Amino acid sequence: MINVGIIGGAGYTAGELIRLLVNHPQANIVFVNSSSNAGNAVASVHGGLTGECDLLFTDQLPLESIDVLFLCSAHGDSRRFLEEHQVLEKYPSLKIIDLAQDYRDESNGFVYGLPEKNRERIAKSSRLANPGCFATCIQLALLPLAAAGLLEDEVHIQAITGSTGAGVKPSATSHFSWRNDNISVYKAFQHQHLIEIGRNLRLLQPDFDKDINFVPMRGDFARGIFASVYTRCKLSQEEAGKLYKDYYKSAAFTFVTPDNIDMKQVVNTNKALVHVEKHGDKLLVLSTIDNLLKGASGQAVQNMNLMFGLEEKTGLRLKNIAF
């Protein structure tokens, strides 16, 4: 069994992670740390866990008793936590999976945890930086082109996300009365995930020097991301389809389909669906994921499986909502 510890246990990503791990055949949750909820039942904060586990939140850190530590705190807190407790120095054999953005630049020996790009490196790693949700969805739409050196012009992206992407703390733009029956743009052309998207595409295609234009949108639904990406491309429809099929042929959760896709096909699963269409001299790529699963906690468990030599889909054979 893999003994697990979780830091920042009260948020959405931690809740999804716990729901996955309590049903994972090789995982044993040793502790869920949350100083603000210490002593409270985990099920009292994360709905749906009643009858699934009797875990209590704790403010203790028995790091010596675990094999892997998941960091589910806010951006910036992961680095502070590891430095304050000297985790990297005191527990050199402890595997770490960070769901924040602190180490997505692969500093301090962390590996960027997008299996469709770095599967072999992830399997050999002990420190893992889980990708961002928008970054995962958008990169899956563009990796095959970058790997083939076929990004030759500006990339244009419009992607919409559910309210859970804003985190568990309520805000004006996640309040039901505002979000319901509403749609809006935010952080146009300056979303923080552009940094990791650009970095990883250029690692695959170093000569790519064009703009990546990204317009993120808030949707009036709870979970999921749907991205529409287009760029000029010389490939025919048949060539593009074959390129994408070949690139993802060994991917455990990413599937290329000739049929148009919709978000409900992936919500509540760790799957990603990709669809390509040629329109004149432009290639349109549609990509969709569940932001809390393939975009966060599901991908984190997928990475844990790889790091511990387990079959990649272990504990992640989930059903989509369908209706």
Are 222 and 163 spatial neighbours (Cβ–Cβ below 8 Å)?
yes
Pairing mode, if any, of strands 272-279 and 282-289? antiparallel
- Please give the Cα distance from 176 to 194 (Å, whole number): 28
Amino acid code (one letter) for 247: Y
Options 53, 133, 137, 233, the catalytic residue: 133
- Please give the Cα distance from 165 to 187 (Å, whole number): 14
Closest CA to 307 of 63, 70, 95: 95
Tokens representing 53 are 């586990």
Active site residue 137: no
Identify the helix (H) or strand (E) that includes residue 98: strand 95-98
Sign of the dihedral through C-alpha 7, 10, 15, 21:
positive
Closest CA to 12 of 128, 137, 165, 160: 165
Does residue 203 come out as left (phi exceeding 0), alpha (psi in the -120 to 50 range) or beta? Answer: alpha
290 Cβ partners below 8 Å, 6+ apart? Answer: 223, 224, 225, 266, 267, 268, 269, 270, 271, 298
Residues tagged active-site:
133
